[in-house]
């Protein structure tokens, strides 16, 4: 079946630093990937849609200069949280579409101290 | 924006019981999906529904796409302890490359 991986699975960083999270589709090509954020006991909130070779589309209220997305290949999208602050601490999850179904990665837990 | 309604927030059942979860929307979706999320993991797709009225099964799970395209239900039969988790419904307007709108999820607890 389709597998999506994320790296790292968890990260702790100091306030003000930048953190990069990778999302890979391991056995299929994904022209479209999605980035979500999930706070404790809440649902997944879509942050942005990442299209290979073009600029990401951000949801309302998501700062594109703070959450940089790069989808350089059909199997890799990256999310960089720039100048992270404690309120950015969350569970970040990506999904990748094979054209029929969206498959989710295992998530990355970010803790900003 | 669009929202999917799932309630109650939590459900508690006895092992072996059946449970049904409903998901409603004020607007139409062309695809309905049900996901299960375990703590600290990403959601896993359980069932995808593509046609209004469609009834689909996956083992002990059965889901239906409402004929109005504004609702869906998921039924779990003969529950077991590993059914514990958060169940999310999600809707899509167009194809698989379009964004998903998620419900708030229902936390299911199964008493042995």
Chain-centre distance for alpha carbon A50: 9
Which residue shows structure tokens 């720039």?
A82
Residues of B in contact with A34 (CB under 8 A): 99-100
Q: Please state, for a pLDDT cut of 90, what percent of chain A lies above it.
A: 81
Split at pLDDT 50, 70, 90, the class of A110 is very high
User: What are the tens digits of pLDDT across the range A18-53?
Assistant: 999 999 999 999 989 999 999 998 999 999 999 888
pLDDT per residue as tens, chain B (112 positions): 567 999 889 999 999 999 999 999 999 999 999 999 999 999 999 999 999 999 999 999 999 999 999 999 999 999 999 999 999 999 998 776 788 999 999 999 999 9
- Using a CB–CB cutoff of 8 Å, tell me whether A25 touches chain B: no
Query: What whole-number distance in Å separates Cα of residue B15 and Cα of residue B54?
Result: 28
* Angstrom distance (rounded) from CA B1 to CA B99: 13
Tell me whether residues B100 and A102 touch, CB distance under 8 A.
yes
Task: Between B8 and A90, name the one with better pLDDT.
Answer: A90
Q: What is the pLDDT of residue B50?
A: 92
Pairing mode of beta strands A32-38, A90-97: antiparallel
Give the separation between CA A86 and CA A12, rounded to whole angstroms: 10
**Residue B102 has what pLDDT?**
93
- Residue B88: its chain A contacts at CB < 8 A? 43-44
Whether pLDDT at A100 is above 90: no
Nearest to B88 among A43, A100, A107 (CB): A43
β-bridge mates for residue B109, sequence order = B12
Residues B34/B85, Cβ–Cβ less than 8 Å: no
User: Minimal Cα distance from A101: which residue of B?
Assistant: B96
CB contact A81 to B (< 8 Å): no
Contacts A–B by Cβ distance under 8 A: 53
* pLDDT for the residue numbered A45: 93
Tokens, residue B88: 């999310």
In which residue are the tokens 């069932």 written? B47
Query: With contacts defined as CB-CB under 8 Å, which chain B residues touch A23?
Result: none
Question: What does the pLDDT look like over A47-87, one tens digit per residue?
Answer: 999 988 888 999 999 999 999 999 889 999 999 999 999 99
Residues in B closer than 8 angstroms to A95, CB to CB, are 42, 100
Contact B52, A105 (CB under 8 A): no
CA distance A44 to A39: 8
Does B97 reach chain A within 8 Å, measured CB to CB? Answer: yes
């Amino acid at each position: 079946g389709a597998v999506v991986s994320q790296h790292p699975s968890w990260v702790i960083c100091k306030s003000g630093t930048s953190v990069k999270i990778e999302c890979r589709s391991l056995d299929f090509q994904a022209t479209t990937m999605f980035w979500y954020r999930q706070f404790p006991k809440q649902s997944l909130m879509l942050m942005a849609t990442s299209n290979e070779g073009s600029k990401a589309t951000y949801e309302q209220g998501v700062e594109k200069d703070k959450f940089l997305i790069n989808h350089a290949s059909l199997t890799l999208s990256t999310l960089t949280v720039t100048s992270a602050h404690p309120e950015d601490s969350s569970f970040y999850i990506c999904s990748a579409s094979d054209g029929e179904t969206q498959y989710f990665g295992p998530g990355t837990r970010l803790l900003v101290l | 924006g669009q929202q999917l309604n799932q309630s109650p927030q939590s459900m508690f059942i006895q092992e072996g019981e059946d449970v049904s979860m409903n998901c409603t929307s004020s607007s139409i979706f062309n695809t309905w999906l049900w996901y299960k999320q375990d703590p600290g993991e990403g959601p896993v797709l359980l069932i995808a529904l593509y046609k209004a009225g469609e009834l689909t099964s996956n083992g002990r799970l059965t889901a239906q796409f409402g004929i109005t395209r504004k609702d869906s239900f998921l039924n779990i039969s003969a529950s077991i302890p590993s059914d514990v988790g958060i169940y999310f419904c999600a809707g899509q307007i167009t194809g698989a490359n379009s964004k998903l709108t998620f419900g708030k999820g229902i936390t299911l607890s199964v008493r042995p």
